[in-house]
């Protein structure tokens, strides 16, 4: 089955007011590329201004707390993201799993809180270089996904396979390795959710660029991309969206 592709940018800790011009350029171009869903996950503090600048375009957060409110200094709740106009959030990015010591159970709780608030979710999983080299990438990531999945996908869940060693490094797995991983994740989604698991988009993330996007999007069960560095500028990001539109 072919799912509509989703190309989402993750700006990480990049972007100030002046960069809203890039958001506008990307959102304008997305209007002419209706065969692809396009989104930008921005720093929380930019979300509301971006939503005002580009109404109707999908703006997301990069993380969400699992609690509805409380004494969690520096954190953002699902209700806050919705209130700011976001319709999507990333959870479980490896930079948070590593630096903030987020466990699979935390990621699952975050996904459930976000989905319950009406947000769409991109849930990230991926292996370290050590695990890849040891030959156990597929069972490791499958176990991570199984423990991170929300109880109900609410028709609004996407998964992003992001090998940690491919993020920001310019390295990507082979086509066969991406295909093998995405097939395993698809099986896990179907065994967990039944038919609904076939509708969950599985994105690839890690050093996606204009030069490799077409090859990646042609792989079976690659339903889009989560793009970091190459999402910061419309000139870098839009060719990736175009590659998805051409598949
Ligand atoms: P990258 O980041 O495209 O800069 O490798 C991807 C990500 O971390 O989502």
Q: Is 61's C-beta closer than 6 angstroms to any atom of ligand 1?
A: no
Q: What is the pLDDT of residue 152?
A: 97
Q: Is 226's C-beta closer than 6 angstroms to any atom of ligand 1?
A: yes
- The tens digit of pLDDT for each residue in 143-181 reads 999 999 999 999 999 999 999 999 999 999 999 999 999
Q: Is 167's C-beta closer than 6 angstroms to any atom of ligand 1?
A: yes
Residue 224, number of CB atoms within 10 A of its CB: 30
**Which pLDDT band, with edges at 50, 70 and 90, does 109 fall under?**
very high
> What pTM did the predictor assign?
0.98
**Which pLDDT band, with edges at 50, 70 and 90, does 133 fall under?**
very high
Q: Among candidates 151, 72, 80, which has minimal Cα distance to 109?
A: 151
Q: What is the pLDDT of residue 51?
A: 98
Average pLDDT, the chain: 97
Active site residues: 93, 162
Q: Are 86 and 47 in contact (CB under 8 A)?
A: yes
- What are 17's two structure tokens? 């007011």
Q: Whose CA is nearest to atom 7 of ligand 1?
A: 228
Query: Which atom of ligand 1 sits closest to the CA of residue 94?
Result: 8
């Amino acid at each position: 089955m072919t799912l509509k592709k989703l190309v989402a940018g993750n700006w990480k800790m990049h972007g100030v007011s002046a960069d809203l011009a890039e958001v506008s350029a990307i959102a304008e171009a997305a209007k002419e590329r209706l065969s692809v869903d396009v989104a930008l996950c921005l720093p929380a503090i930019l979300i509301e201004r971006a939503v005002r600048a580009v109404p109707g375009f999908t703006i997301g957060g990069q993380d969400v707390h699992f609690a509805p409110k409380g004494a969690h200094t520096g954190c953002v709740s699902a209700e806050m993201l919705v209130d700011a106009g976001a319709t999507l959030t990333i959870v479980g990015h490896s930079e948070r799993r590593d630096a903030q010591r987020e466990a699979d159970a935390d990621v699952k709780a975050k996904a459930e809180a976000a989905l319950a608030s009406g947000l769409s979710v991109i849930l990230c999983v991926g292996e370290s270089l050590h695990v890849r080299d040891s030959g156990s990438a597929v069972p490791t990531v499958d176990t991570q996904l199984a423990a991170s999945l929300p109880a109900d996908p609410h028709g609004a869940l996407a998964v992003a396979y992001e090998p940690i060693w491919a993020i920001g490094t310019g390295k990507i797995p082979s086509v066969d390795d991406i295909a093998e991983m995405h097939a395993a994740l698809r099986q896990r989604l179907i065994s967990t959710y039944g038919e609904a698991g076939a509708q969950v988009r599985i994105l690839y993330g890690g050093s996606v660029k204009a030069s490799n996007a077409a090859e990646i999007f042609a792989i079976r069960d690659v339903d889009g991309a989560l793009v970091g560095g190459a999402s910061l500028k419309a000139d870098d990001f839009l060719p990736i969206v175009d590659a998805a539109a051409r598949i």
